[in-house]
Copies of this chain bind each other. A is one copy, B any other.
Amino acid sequence: MNITKNVEDYLKAIYYLVQELEFERVGTNQLAEYLGISPASVSVMIKKMKDKHLVDYQKYGKIGLTDSGHAIAVKLVRKHRLWETFLHRHMNFSWDEVHEVAHQLEHIHSPKLIRELDNFLGNPKTDPHGDVIPDEDGNYIIPTKTSLAELQAGNQCRLVSVKDNSAVFLKYVTQLGLALSSKIRVEEIREFDGSMLISYDGKKENVSKMFAESVYVESL
């Protein structure tokens, strides 16, 4: 059973939509939207992937991963995050630049390379966005994620990861002067729109509710 680059992309997309965004299962349209292709193409592909026992599916239903599909997806996530770490630490890629190239690199097939890369990087536990890197056996703990938006005025926290890995969002975070492990204090929360005034590194900035929801923190 030959898994193509495309099938790998589908598996990772399903994994992402199912696990990270916390839907239980994904619809063909959502998946199509996420992958930037037509729902019709997804319909056809999912049928083939079902034949290969990579996804759970029945017509007009929702898509889920089988155990084998899940295992492959986790391996891809591991590769992706190891490459991101490599690019960030050794190739001078900023955290908003790593994703695109890592997306290409994750399709390289070489168990030895991944083992060696992991070793070279010193078995990192998280990637440049604070996301957990699954171990060689595909095991990992998804940490309970608290968003900045859940805090109260007066609370202090440390930035541990981001919900949105898009270059646009990450550049904005960088522009604000924030990075992983930045220490943040919630100064005020505006009831009417959920925006907050936060302080960090001697700065004070106003951020939207959406921003606060896109940033995960650890309470201090």
Interface residues of A (CB under 8 A from B): 87, 90-93, 97, 100-101, 104-105, 108-110, 112-113, 116-117, 120
Residue from the list B91, B104, B105, B112 in contact with A93, Cβ < 8 A: B112
**Chain B residues with Cβ under 8 A from A120's Cβ?**
90-91
Number of copies: 2
CA distance A90 to B109 in the complex (A): 18
**Chain B residues with Cβ under 8 A from A108's Cβ?**
101, 104-105, 108
> Taking chain A's interface residues, is the majority helix, strand, or loop, or is none over half, making it mixed?
helix
Nearest 8 CB-CB pairings of A with B:
A91-B116, A101-B110, A104-B108, A92-B116, A101-B113, A90-B120, A91-B113, A105-B108
Q: A97-B112, A112-B97 are in contact. Are A117 and B91 (CB under 8 A)?
A: yes
